[in-house]
Amino acid sequence: MELERVGEHEFVASNGRGASVRIGRKGQEGSFSPVELLVAAAAGCALVTSETLILRRTGGETLTAVADAVQSESGNEVISIPVTLSYDLSAVDDPEALETVVRRAVEQFCTVTRTLKQSATAPLQLPTPLQTTSDPL
């Protein structure tokens, strides 16, 4: 993943497969804030992980997720990201069994939510100043 500054408070994240996303400050037009990307990653991971299980059992094509960041009082940390999946249960014989399978799959295979549960670290590396040698007088 590579990020490049493209303007004041504007960045573009790109991957090696040709996809990109604009990142900016909260409320900035045409971009996602870093927290919004974190929320989208949690919801997206749950959707990607459960998609085949859900669509195979529901026979439908509609599958959506809604997620939001619950932030601390200071607003400087996310303390929870509730994710709600929505899909049609009208063709499902045993909705409780489907819920069990979906929960298990997301809990076992969704890398993003598993990482969030473990409070992954994000070590920051900064450039080091160039070493200069000085001649003694």
Q: Which residues of the chain have a pLDDT value below 70?
A: 131-137
Which residue from 63, 109, 118 is spatially nearest to 85, judged by alpha carbons? 63
Per the structure, the count of domains in the chain is: 2
Q: Are residues 5 and 49 in the same domain?
A: no
Q: What is the pLDDT of residue 119?
A: 84
My answer on whether 59 and 95 are in the same domain is yes
Residues 107 and 55 in one domain: yes
Please report, as a single letter, which amino acid is at residue 94.
D
pLDDT for position 131: 61
The answer to whether residue 127 sits within a structural domain is: no
pLDDT score at 99: 96
Same domain, 22 and 56: no
What pLDDT does residue 133 have? 61
pLDDT at 43: 96
Compute how many other C-beta atoms are within 10 angstroms of the C-beta atom of residue 107.
Answer: 13
Q: Which domain covers residue 27, as residue numbers?
A: 1-32
CB atoms within 10 A of CB 8: 8
Q: Is the pTM of this model over 0.75?
A: yes
